[in-house]
């Protein structure tokens, strides 16, 4: 429970600081398919963050997933994320909490990838993530690869589409649509 309070405090600090520090907010909608069972889930997430001039991205993500909107059990998660850019390449780390009706546990993740300018306003992103629970009895060890294309609508607004494949304790494919507003 202490970790959840720490995440809530960090979320408040990031939300209030991004209004003054050139931050951003994003909404994500995902549709996921379990490859082993064909079960489908939808996921909604809100991300609040800020980027520094040195290429560091600090963000907080709150997400909820369910079989169908208004149907099935609800799973929620909170993550504190830090990502550092090195030119086109990036490396990131995450600390999070997974909350469902049957479990509640902390996890960590490491991300790496490359962002590639494509054509006028378009950017590509290819990357991978390793994730696991601190207590490995929670069966949360996964690897994920993704490919995404983003388009800058304006200097402040962008949309992106991402496809990802996860394997390990979860075997799923997912499509995600994201809208980001920069301040």
Specify the pTM: 0.85
Q: Distance between CA 99 and CA 79 in Å, rounded?
A: 12
Interval 86-109 mean pLDDT: 95
Interval 59-73 mean pLDDT: 85
Interval 36-50 mean pLDDT: 94
Integer angstrom CA distances of residue 71 from 46, 173, 175: 21, 21, 20
Integer angstrom CA distances of residue 44 from 69, 128, 156: 10, 21, 22
Among residues 149, 171, 179, 178, the alpha carbon closest in space to that of 41 is found at 171
> What is the predicted pLDDT for the residue at 142?
96
> What is the predicted pLDDT for the residue at 8?
52
**Count of CB atoms within 10 A of residue 135's CB?**
10
Q: Is there a contact between 98 and 107 (Cβ–Cβ < 8 Å)?
A: yes
């Amino acid at each position: 429970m202490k970790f959840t309070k720490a995440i809530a405090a960090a979320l408040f600090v990031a939300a209030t600081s991004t209004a003054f520090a050139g931050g951003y907010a994003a909404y994500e909608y995902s549709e996921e398919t379990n490859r082993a069972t064909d079960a489908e889930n939808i996921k909604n997430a809100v991300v609040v963050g800020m980027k520094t001039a040195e290429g560091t991205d600090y963000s907080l993500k709150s997400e909820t997933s369910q079989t169908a909107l208004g149907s099935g059990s609800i799973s929620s998660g909170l993550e504190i994320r830090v990502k550092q850019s090195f030119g086109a390449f990036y490396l990131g780390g995450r600390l999070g909490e997974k909350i469902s009706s049957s479990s509640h546990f902390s996890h960590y993740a490491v991300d790496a990838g490359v962002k590639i300018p494509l054509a006028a306003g378009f950017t590509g992103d290819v990357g991978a993530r390793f994730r696991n629970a601190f207590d490995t009895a929670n069966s949360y060890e996964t690897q994920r690869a993704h490919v995404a294309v983003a388009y800058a609508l304006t200097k402040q607004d962008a949309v992106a589409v991402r496809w990802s494949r996860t394997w390990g304790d979860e075997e799923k494919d997912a499509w995600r649509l994201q809208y980001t507003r920069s301040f």
